[in-house]
Chain A
């Protein structure tokens, strides 16, 4: 404070002193006086014009220029913003004569939905009804611990901790932009508006994406709200069925809704078996994680998902450093593990889908192409030489063992299964630990070192065994979440146990509703390397409360980059997860799709945008695909009444059909 006062004094006294002197000298000899005066003046100024003044001057200059530029920018006529971009699909289709017909329901995915505070602890004063998730995220920097505390849920119930109420933002604003300038649904909404959509026939089903699906109904009645809004839009728009557009985890949420709405009241919505047939025209899943994503495993296991946009993605570099006192990752893990929804994204279907120790449906995947496009997306022009260099290295002899979702050490990820050291699962589960740390943050604090070594000795975990691994390292989380979610494959769907809501979001353990006219689309990007399995190492750090496992980012080679094996996908969801159900599991009349609802696969090949394009009109990226012109056109056409056949049926670039054929699951009715 005092330094500032001094600074101000300096600035104020400088000019006044100068004035005083100059006026004093005036009556003296005029001719010489003027010259001397000037010298004096300059002298004074030199003295006064110190570092601080220069700073002030510089800032002033910058401010002024900035204002001038800003002013010019604002004066710029609005409708002549330089280059005219290509016509957005909405405008083009409007000129073709398309108009709004079917009401549209948008279901956002994980992370992208905004959350606001309704009740909090004293540290969150003044944030009532302000966004604490989505928007500008300034509160993270201001009060990080307080923020984390409000975002986490209760560890036992998976609901609000006492005294804290954080609720989803309702309406279209919930997920149109995630952060300022980072669109999610905004482009799609604008294009829909071009052909005549507005608030009355477009509904954003915002829900709290941290909760397990059934809990959104128990706490917020989100499912009831969705049901009643669909019924309302159906009734007020001339009995037109709705087109549902879920994205990412919203896909699983809507699967859950489909079963919920037909189930009788105490557990379900009581719509009866014909509800979906009556109200839903088609479901257009964007970037669906039907069968889960491997990324969720690493997130659960070590909070290290490379870019699944949990908290790290906000500013990884910053968070890894010390602002929270070296415990950032641990804090994150603690928060993430209270979110049941993360568990809903764990790979489903076990080894038949995701592969066993030695084989996986993606076995024939060639990474060469991937790497090339991977490089292209970053630096297209000047990287030709590097591409040539890398190409010979990636000659695959042995198929990559994608089935081993987690393996310890690069060698373990490549060896044949017979050579792998295995530890009997029983032995793993036995070890009980004595907590050594006073304050337990993550459940790792309860596991002692030797047991951790034992876990690592098992070398490789597949889609079946990693669940046991997680049950061991995060017993509370898994116990809580598995009451709400299931990850298996049903052998007999008529078993009455499948009436329980925990199976509803798993497409392999439920039947689609009785709705022969309903269409199911799966629309996703391809051509981006997507995380599929991980090479881990035991973290050297022995500190209390640190996470004992790390992705071994030194492991490289072929599809393995930075400790992660990649396959084709949209950067978050591998093709097999997004495409399998529509390519095979539900195609025709199967036991998962008894009424034979039509399914369509629409793939969009990723094309990296040029700099001016922003996030691109042909992106295949998990979120950026929402701005993909071809995808938007498809959605618009269907919303305006077209059927799947009319927009061209399947559109496939990847090997999804081949891969699906390798998956051995009983599909007969």
Chain B
């Protein structure tokens, strides 16, 4: 208790001394900086200025009063001298006295000697004892600056004031968890504890982020789809425009040649629709009928698949062109029996392998048409030389030379049955239906980049078609070279194999055997008809089979005769 009272007394003395010291310093400060006052009452004005400075620095108001009271500098100097020695002593005492305040736990004792600000904390609970202690700690440094002001420089004083100011702020906002001085750790509060724990940065799931950028794949996909749709619309419209342009340029010619132009087969009466049938986005049909020399004509405009983006991209690798396919079906009396084709070399080679009739009746290799004056890249597949001579008249050659780039293939056939069908083993040979047909395949110029104007260039080719129809009607082969119409449908091989079967399953009786033998002998000149010498293959095969089975038949016949004898 005595110690405490001693300390209280010391505090009071400390206060007074510090105030006086401070006042002296301030006056010195004022005198130094208040020089503009040149009058004899400069001291008074200096004191007044000092007082002002004192108030601006938020100095204790008691000190200010002292400044105002003490007007003579001499008195202040003496006071200063008197106060310096105790001040030094006090400087030594203050840290010791401050240390003792840390031991205080009792809030009541603190409240007795302190200012009335903290009197309200007299009846505090134990929870707030810590706060009081902190507040006391905060408040105790406040007399410290006033005591040490006399010795220390202005900077130090300012710093101290700032410290006290901050401490007061902290006192007003008590923070229970502060174990360190907040002013020292400004900004480091959060990082300090976290440096000890392992940092676990969690990634926010992409769909919860507020950015569209993470969905870039989806955006790409949707953009691709939109591009596809755009291309579909553009391609479809282009194809439609091309078809319309073709039809507009050919309409007049067709209507002058055919009674029925445009038919979809659904209407009750045979009335010209006068427009194309759209089978697809890239295929347009037109059926024309009602003319001499032919049954009808089917025109197919087979455009490129401009509506399909994949196809467009594939065409960039491999260029292709639009095609116009014309198929003229003829009546039986309109055409003689022959097979003939002329066109592009590549197309001819392909057709020769693919088409049933061409592979059967024509030679393997397409022949050059130089004999007739055709360009080198055009080739001829023909059944007989006479057919070629007959077909390649001057007007035809003229057409071919002028429009050679647009002609893919021209195929006349009386045995047309389409491409070769794959025949399975063991099944009976199915004879395909044949029809007298003229086939024309034209390439549209432009190689894909066609404009509607290019369709006009195909008009002469249509004239060629009409001309060909009439020509074929009039063309007649020599009687001796033509095929017999009776057995025209059956090939030599097919007939022979049929008889083979009969012979093998025969009953070795005379009648069938002799009949068959006689048929065979009669068939010989028919099967080996006077085809051109280029038709060696079929002749050979027929001969082979013929003699093979002839031997059998002969044997059978002889056996039957001898058995019945």
A, B: real partners: no
List the interface of chain A (C-beta within 8 A of B).
none
